[in-house]
């Protein structure tokens, strides 16, 4: 049987390729070139070295145009409009898995595999995703919107391992990137400096403006609205407080702040809701950020057929256009894009 493995040049995807070969698959490594940079070229070269070491075929797929359209442009436009984006969800939904699946079909491979820390089960035409054994590394939050038909042919062999175990496996396989440090959260940024990236890519300028409270009283000056996200507390430069970013008004060039109660949310309204299998309404748990703990909640529908999440415990700093993901225990049910809060 053939298996296409998405190889980013890191320890996780390299170990995945080695594990799939050890399981008896004819492995074909595929590295997605998503942007032009020295870091991207190094990743390609590392993946090629690993493929050569494992004696597997390897190919580089150019997806720069789609990555720019669905991830980078979306990222810049979101901040320009005062919205906090989640590029990893977008990449998995519109770029990464779609390209890997095209590659799988090209080589008539049976499955595709990646180094994501998530567990998958398939029974009688159903596909279910579960959180990884090591919750600290769990990436199920970022995969809720991936096409279900692609998930039917996907495997995630690292879901049962901790990061420590993965590194030990990489050493056993004598993989050259076994000691490579953890990658940063957003792959296309340099040193996580998203502000400099936006300024390079945008035609706009970001002038100073007012920081105001929810009543419109001017409390201070901001250094450009792209520097602020909902719920942010640090870096406001205000006396008194504590203050939290309540909203970003890009058109009026204002950052709006409040006390902690001002960014408290008990209801979340969603759009673009996707369920992994059948629709789910009722009691569950939700995450509004990948690093957050799950919060007990109830999923319901409004009279207009929109989805509403009623939180059993309040969340703080819930941002529009982020993602609210549903769980039953450690099983992923689905999720949606945050359209508003109450």
Residue boundaries of the structural domains of the chain: 2-172, 205-258, 263-341
Q: How confident is the model at residue 303 (pLDDT cuts 50, 70, 90)?
A: confident
User: pTM higher than 0.85 for the full model?
Assistant: yes
Instruction: Please provide the average confidence, as pLDDT, over all residues in the chain.
Output: 94
Cis peptide before 249 (omega within 30 of 0): no
| In the predicted structure, residue 187 carries a pLDDT above the cut 90 | no
Count the Cβ atoms, other than its own, within 10 Å of residue 325.
25
Looking at the chain, list the stretches that DSSP marks H as alpha helix, in order from N- to C-terminal side. Answer: 11-22, 38-54, 64-67, 73-80, 87-91, 97-106, 148-151, 163-172, 194-201
Does the pLDDT at position 107 exceed 90? yes
For 270-293, how does the pLDDT look when each residue is reduced to its tens digit (9 = 90+)?
Answer: 999 999 999 999 999 999 999 899
- Superfamily in which the 205-258 domain is placed by CATH: Adenine nucleotide alpha hydrolases-like domains (2.30.30.280)
Residues 23-56 have pLDDT tens digits of 999 999 999 999 988 888 999 999 999 999 999 9
CATH architecture classification, 2-172:
3-Layer(aba) Sandwich (3.40)
The predicted-structure confidence for 122-146, as pLDDT tens digits, reads as follows 988 799 999 999 999 999 999 999 9
Q: Is the pLDDT of residue 95 over 90?
A: yes
Evaluate if residue 342 carries a pLDDT over 90. Answer: no
* Distance from C-alpha of 102 to C-alpha of 109, rounded to nearest angstrom: 10
What's the confidence (pLDDT) of residue 5?
A: 98
β-pairing verdict for 218-222 and 209-213: antiparallel
CB 103 within 8 A of CB 110: no
The whole-number pLDDT of residue 40 equals 87
- Is residue 219 over pLDDT 90? yes
Q: Residue 186 — pLDDT band, cuts 50, 70, 90?
A: confident
* E strand residue ranges, the chain: 2-6, 26-33, 57-62, 111-113, 118-123, 126-131, 154-155, 209-213, 218-222, 244-249, 254-258, 264-275, 282-287, 295-301, 307-316, 323-328, 331-341
pLDDT level of residue 188 (50, 70, 90 thresholds):
confident
Taking domain 263-341, whether its CATH number is 3.40.50.300 is answered by: no
Q: Which residues are catalytic?
A: 91, 187
Percentage with pLDDT > 90 across the chain? 82
**What's the pLDDT score for residue 182?**
82
pLDDT value of residue 143: 98
- Kindly report, residue by residue over 47-93, the tens digit of the pLDDT: 999 999 999 999 999 999 999 999 999 999 999 988 989 999 999 99
């Amino acid at each position: 049987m053939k298996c296409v493995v998405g190889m980013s040049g890191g320890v996780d995807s390299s170990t995945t390729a080695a594990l799939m070969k050890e399981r008896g698959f004819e492995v074909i490594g595929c590295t997605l070139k998503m942007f032009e940079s020295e870091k991207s070229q190094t990743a390609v070269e590392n993946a090629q070295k690993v493929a050569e070491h494992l004696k597997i075929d390897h190919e580089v797929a150019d997806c720069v145009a789609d990555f720019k359209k669905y991830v980078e442009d979306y990222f810049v436009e979101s901040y320009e409009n005062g919205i906090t984006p989640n590029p990893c969800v977008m990449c998995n939904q519109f770029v990464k898995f779609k390209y890997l699946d095209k590659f799988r079909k090209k080589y008539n491979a049976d499955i595709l595999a990646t180094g994501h820390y998530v567990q998958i089960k398939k029974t009688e035409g159903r596909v279910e995703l579960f959180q990884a054994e090591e919750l600290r590394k769990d990436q199920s939050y970022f995969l809720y919107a991936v096409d279900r038909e692609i998930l039917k042919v996907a495997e995630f062999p690292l879901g049962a391992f901790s990061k420590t175990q993965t590194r030990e496996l990489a050493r056993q396989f004598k993989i050259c990137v076994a000691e490579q440090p953890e990658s940063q959260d957003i792959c296309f940024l340099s040193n996580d400096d998203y502000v400099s990236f936006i300024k390079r890519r945008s035609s706009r300028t970001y002038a100073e403006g007012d920081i105001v409270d929810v009543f419109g009283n001017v409390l201070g000056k901001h250094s450009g609205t792209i520097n602020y996200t909902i719920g942010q507390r640090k870096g406001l430069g205000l006396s008194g407080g504590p203050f939290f970013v309540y909203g970003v008004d890009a058109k009026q060039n204002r950052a709006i702040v409040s006390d902690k109660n001002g960014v408290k949310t008990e209801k979340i309204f969603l759009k673009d809701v996707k369920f992994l299998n059948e629709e789910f309404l009722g009691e569950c748990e939700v995450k509004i950020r990948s690093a957050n703990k799950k919060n007990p909640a109830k999923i319901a529908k409004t009279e207009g057929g929109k989805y509403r999440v009623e939180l059993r415990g309040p969340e703080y700093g819930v941002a529009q256009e982020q993602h609210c993901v549903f769980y039953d225990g450690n099983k992923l049910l689905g999720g949606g894009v945050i359209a508003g809060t109450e």
